[in-house]
Amino acid sequence: MKHFYSVLCAILLAGCIGKNTVPSEEKNYVINSSVDHPEWTTDAVIYEVNIRQYTPEGTFRAFIDHIPRLQDLGVDILWLMPVHPIGKVERKGSLGSYYSVQDYFGINPEFGTMKDFRDLVVEAHAYNMYVIIDWVANHTSWDNPWVKQHPEWYKTDSTGNMLSPFDWTDVVQLNYEDTALQVEMLKAMKFWVETADIDGYRCDVAGMVPCDFWEVAREELDKIKPVFMLAENEDKSCLVEEAFDMNYAWELHHIMNEIAKDSMTAENLYDYFERMDSIYDPDIYRMNFITNHDENSWNGTEFERLGAAVGVFAMLTFTLPGMPLLYSGQEIGFDERLIFFEKDTIEWIEEEIWSRFYKDMINLKTENPVFWNGTEGGSFKTLKVESSDNIFAFERSRDDELYIVIANLGGDKESVKMNDYSKSLFSDILTGDDYGFDKSLKLKPYEYLILRENY
């Protein structure tokens, strides 16, 4: 491992320079980023596509028909769960896990052909949308050809038996001590950018793969075209220093779940952002979400976990620093757990309240630069309201414009008074109603205000 970066650079880059980052003393952040985000990510909203469950057909061709609808909704980045053939050995369920990759260069025949996939990418690009695919670099299926061809590429126990990570018995873990494996994995990643013109990757359990590999991969992929890279990780800082544009705001997600269960309060959110401000460079994107494929299938729908607080927490994913994620069906209020290893089609019965809500939230984000991503967005400061454990408030400011978000995270009515803004007048961005803080504001349970200062 110690020599992987230099060896791989010698093989691939012939003059690669070491990448040790020194934290900036001026900013006093623990994690500093040198990643250049693609310009099209500035105000982007990401949408996770579960091809298997999206339509009765469960194919790329059938999904293409939804692209105009998603473009009209305001989605920018389509993240497709793994598109590769799924292993049959030790398969879970009748269809298996997308994350048991049998062939990194192939297409899952259940979804269609390579041409179908390319046509999907072309169609998305025609609608000014971008496509990233899920990449599983940590493990393969047991019947991936590499298992027999290159057993040295896999981790083994003291008796030489190959290992499965965690309880993922349908897969076997790769050994990143082997440089030849890294070269082949990078070759496969380049293949999809060059052959299918995809725009980047969401990388599964990215923290279980060495940062050195990801850094080289990002550099090599960017030589083909500017890519967007999302790491399924939160605790490994080196990933977002030089390789990834964005990681998961997992802790934020869990705090929201706990507040909805009355196990935490708004105070925990204030503590969280105080810590995050001291850890993250503001240009590192965080992915904010209330649901995704794992949460939906294993921990419950957003309605099960958040109850009546779904709307207020979803609103926060669009107004807090970071990029909001929507999962398949979330935009219509689909309220069912999707079975993971079987066919379980989404019923596209639109709940108007939710389709209107998410359209409004996306418009809010894209039309108000203060809510854009990274340093293109506005500065962020929490506003403590001492009189309530349920009120969470913050301001965003950019180019002399000031916005205040006030959210009641509890099931009781609350009064809010902010003396620092008592001489200013504000308008609600969503309703146009005027507000002032010369007197207390009344918020119903789970109600929120998104206010812009009037000049």
Residue 131: inside a domain = yes
User: How high is the pLDDT of residue 388?
Assistant: 86
Counted domains in the chain: 2
Residue 25 has pLDDT above 50, yes or no: no
Q: pTM here?
A: 0.94
pLDDT at residue 13, as a whole number: 40
Tell me, yes or no, whether 121 lies in a domain. yes
Cα 198 to the center of its chain, rounded Å: 17
Q: What is the CATH number of the domain that holds 405?
A: 2.60.40.1180
Q: What is the residue range of 431's domain?
A: 382-453
Using pLDDT thresholds of 50, 70 and 90, give the confidence band for residue 29.
low
pLDDT over 50 at 26, yes or no: no
pLDDT at 24: 36
In sequence order, what are the residues at sequence separation of 6 or more whose Cβ sits closer than 8 angstroms to the Cβ of residue 156? Answer: 162, 163, 175
163: domain CATH number?
Answer: 3.20.20.80
**Structural domain contains residue 71:** yes
Instruction: Confirm whether 228 is domain-assigned.
Output: yes
Question: What is the predicted pLDDT for the residue at 11?
Answer: 44
> Per the domain annotation, does 409 fall within a domain?
yes
Q: Which two tokens stand for residue 227?
A: 């890519």
Across the range 430-442, mean pLDDT stands at: 92
Question: Do 396 and 316 contact (CB within 8 A), yes or no?
Answer: no
Q: What is the pLDDT of residue 422?
A: 86
Among candidate residues 219, 237, 255, the one where a domain is terminated: 237
In a domain, 18, yes or no: no
Centre a 10 Å sphere on the Cβ of residue 282 and count the other Cβ atoms it contains.
Answer: 16
Domain assignment present for 118 = yes
β-strands 401-408, 391-398 pairing: antiparallel
| Lowest-confidence segment of 113-127, 138-152, 156-170, 410-424 by average pLDDT | 410-424
Count the Cβ atoms, other than its own, within 10 Å of residue 183: 14
Read off the pLDDT of each residue in 168-189 and give the average, rounded to a whole number. Answer: 98
Confidence (pLDDT) at 6 = 44
Instruction: Let me know the angle formed at the C-alpha of 231 by 229 and 233, rounded to the nearest 5 degrees.
Output: 165
Between the alpha carbon of residue 261 and those of residues 264, 355, 384, 409, the distances in Å are: 8, 25, 22, 11
Residue finishing a domain among 185, 207, 237: 237
Where is pLDDT greater, at 1 or 102?
A: 102
**Mean pLDDT across the stretch 45-58?**
98
- Of 237, 270, 301, the one marking the end of a domain is 237
Sheet holding 401-408, edge to edge: 379-382, 391-398, 401-408, 448-453, 425-428, 434-436
Is the pLDDT reported for residue 413 higher than 90? yes
Residue 23 has pLDDT above 80, yes or no: no
Using the predicted structure, report yes or no on whether residue 356 has a pLDDT greater than 70: yes
| Tens-digit pLDDT profile for residues 53-88 | 999 999 999 999 999 999 999 999 999 999 999 999
Residue 343 within any structural domain of the chain = no
